[in-house]
Amino acid sequence: MGFGNEEVDGNTILAECLRRQGVEYAFGIIGIPVVELSMAMQQAGIHYVGMRNEQAAAYAAQAMGYLTGKPAVVLVVSGPGLLHVIGGMANAQSNCWPLIVIGGSCSVDHEGLGGFQECPQVDLCRPYCKYSARPASALLIPQHVEKAVRLSVYGRPGVCYLDFPGTLLTSNVERSKIHQTHLCKLPPPLSYPDPSGVDYAAKMLITAERPLIIVGKGAAYDRSERSVFNLLHSSGLPWLPTPMGKGVMPDVHENSVAKARTLALQEADVILLLGARLNWMLHFGRAPRFSKNAFIIQVDLCHEEMGNSVPIGVALVSNVGVACEAIAEKLGSWKFDSNSSWMGKLRKKCAENEKYVQYMGNNISVPLNYYAVFQKVQEVIPKNSIIVSEGANTMDIGRGILLNNLPRHRLDAGTFGTMGVGPGFAVAAALWCKENNPSKRVICVEGDSAFGFSAMEVETMFRYQLGIVIIVVNNNGIYNGFPEDVWKDIISNGAVTKTSPPSSLSPNTHYEALAKLGNGKGFFCNTVDEIETAIREALKTTDAPSIINVMISPASDRKPQSFAWLTESKL
């Protein structure tokens, strides 16, 4: 930002400050009072991506923050625009992904009078943010922008909200009077673990009979894949990933016990958590899903996370990468016995579960089941693809079959379990690929219900020429639907609103027809051969999305579970 006696408005100051602090992308939907701000962002050198829904804009921006390690911006209008984006803010805050939300708001001289879209936006955002504020004047914009960028990435990453009334954005001040501030250092400084804790952690791993490493999303965000690989590969310790921890260690690594997840969690006596939280996704670390006597070693950036659910044996407040390097150094040449009874038991269970998956995948009778669909998808897609996935069974079953061997190559519903994230995530991933690896493909695997939340972002994909391959796994419903003949019987018996089960959607909906919005390709598939042909054809298109609509049996389900998928309260 230059200096001098020229006058500049709040729009220009804000846009230039964001760019100066390293912001490269903004996603949003414009309207009063942020139209001029969106143009000022482009003039400052920021990529502006217009979306079709504020939630989808937030999903795209937070995914970009996860992929790049620095925050992107969501730009929204006042009132309803800000309220729509709160779902996306909550998702980013729960996922611990950096995000900055900038909301236009009612002009200050109209507040309290019933102004246009008047809304207490700063207060509304506080529960879903690390920082929520409104600059008192245009002169103070730089310090608020720096603080928002810094808090979004320092410590546990999260969301920051900045509120800008129309009168603030259009106010003019002299450049020489603007309160300049320093540049936020990115990436943040590293945190190092307590050496005594590292010693204790190494000792416990060496003496464990049934050790287990859990690689979490925090390890992926930390970009610690090399350090994690060196520790796990050299030590021979069995490991499994959380959903978005997939790829930090290659799914095909010989010591992965992901296919024996239930057994591994239930019987491990020493567990090392690498950027993974003991929340609902890991059943809170409690019995019966875990051994009640399990010794937990936790590596996390956040002090408050330690012992949040169960007592922690060793708490290492640290970046994952440096903690792994320190533990590996203490372990030295020690290696867990690959022929131990524990490894044998885990491998046997992996083989049993893999046999079931293969059996189901080889059943290609029509209507198809989930396993047959995903087995064919995995066979055909490029192995370095970024996989975006959402939907109940679509996401859960697909996680075990669609492999990730590279970090940050899986984006899914995440910690908040949010549906509708897929298209927004895919837009961000495709834009990232355009800038960093144009030959890499984004495969967006959607349940039919999940796809419906944000399906109009297909138009966004056309507008920005993004060659995303969308695969809709269509079972005619939420969790389960009905075949067309059964559906007709249901709705013929009276008022549809009283007879149609809440989980049902219209049977055989042709979602692939959305490809007609532009020059994309649409495919309606019933067989695995049709799936293969469709994917190969879709991959030929690099400048527009393709939609592959795969019909499966409405009764198709996952493998029977030893426990309910969600650990319930016993209160």
Q: What sections of 437-483 are H helices per DSSP?
A: 448-453, 457-463
pLDDT band per the 50, 70, 90 thresholds, residue 561: low
Beta carbons within 10 angstroms of residue 21's beta carbon: 22
**Mean predicted confidence (pLDDT) in 71-84:** 97
Question: Cα separation of 475 and 68, whole Å?
Answer: 35
- Cβ of 194: how many Cβ atoms within 10 Å? 16
Under the banding of pLDDT at 50, 70 and 90, the label for residue 557 is confident
Picking from 545, 551, 548, 524, the residue whose alpha carbon sits closest to that of residue 535 is 548
| Predicted pLDDT at 559 | 73
In this predicted structure, the answer to whether residue 568 has a pLDDT above a threshold of 70 is no
Asked whether residue 459 carries a pLDDT value surpassing 60, the answer given is: yes
Distance CA 125, CA 111 (A): 18
Contact 405, 383 (CB under 8 A): yes
Give residues with Cβ within 8 angstroms of 81, minimum separation 6: 29, 31, 54, 103, 104, 117
pLDDT recorded at residue 4: 56
Nearest Cα neighbor of 527 from 368, 312, 416 is 368
DSSP designation for 133: E
**Helices 370-380 and 341-362: angle between axes, nearest 10 degrees:** 100
Note the Cα 221 to chain centre separation in Å.
11
Task: Tell me what the mean pLDDT of segment 232-251 comes to.
Answer: 98
Angle, helix 54-68 to helix 422-436, in steps of 10 degrees: 40
Residue-level pLDDT at 179: 87
Q: At what angle do helices 392-401 and 370-380 cross, to 10 degrees?
A: 50
Residues 298 and 514: their CA atoms lie apart, in Å, by: 46
16: amino acid identity, one letter: E
- Beta-carbon contacts of residue 387 (< 8 Å; ≥ 6 apart): 398, 402, 404, 409, 410, 411, 443, 445
Taking only the tens place, the pLDDT of each residue in 500-528 is: 889 999 999 999 999 999 999 999 999 99
Say if residue 33 is preceded by a cis peptide, omega within 30 of 0: yes
pLDDT, average across residues 261-268: 98
pLDDT at 110: 82
Write the DSSP symbol of residue 461. Answer: H
Q: How far apart are CA 375 and CA 479, in angstroms?
A: 20
**If you average pLDDT over every residue of the chain, what do you get?**
95
120: number of CA atoms within 13 Å, CB side?
Answer: 4
- Least trusted range by pLDDT, from 159-163, 372-376, 412-416: 412-416
Residue 564 pLDDT more than 70? no
Q: How confident is the model at residue 114 (pLDDT cuts 50, 70, 90)?
A: confident
Quick one: pLDDT at residue 565? 58
* pLDDT value at residue 118: 80
Residue 3 has pLDDT above 60, yes or no: no
Q: What is the mean pLDDT of residues 60-79?
A: 97
| pLDDT for 438 beyond 60 | yes
pLDDT at position 154 over 90: yes
Contact 515, 546 (CB under 8 A): yes
C-alpha separations of 348 from 213, 345, 481 in Å:
18, 5, 35
For residue 399, the model assigns a pLDDT of 95
Report the C-alpha gap between 76 and 82 in whole angstroms: 6
* CA distance linking residue 224 with residue 324, whole number of Å: 8
SS3 282: helix
Residue 344 pLDDT level (bands cut at 50, 70, 90) = very high
pLDDT above 70: residue 74: yes
* Tens-place pLDDT, residues 315-335: 999 999 999 999 999 999 999
In one-letter notation, the amino acid at residue 128 is: Y
Task: Spell 28-51 as b/e; 16+ CB within 10 A means b.
Answer: bbbbebbebbbebbeebebbbbeb
Q: State the Cα–Cα distance between residues 533 and 399, nearest whole angstrom.
A: 23
Residues in the chain, total: 571
Query: Can you give the pLDDT at residue 116?
Result: 76
Is 237:228 a contact under the CB 8 Å cutoff? Answer: no
| Residue in the structure block whose two tokens are 């990435």 | 153
E strand or H helix at 164: strand 159-165
Percent of the chain with pLDDT over 70: 97
Buried b (16+ CB within 10 A) or exposed e, 372-390: bbbbbbeebbeeebbbbbb
CA angle 122, 124, 129 (to 5 degrees): 75
User: Which of 90-94, 229-233, 293-297, 488-492 has the lowest average pLDDT?
Assistant: 488-492
Task: Assign 180 a pLDDT band (cuts: 50, 70, 90).
Answer: confident
Q: At what angle do helices 195-207 and 320-331 cross, to 10 degrees?
A: 60
pTM here? 0.96
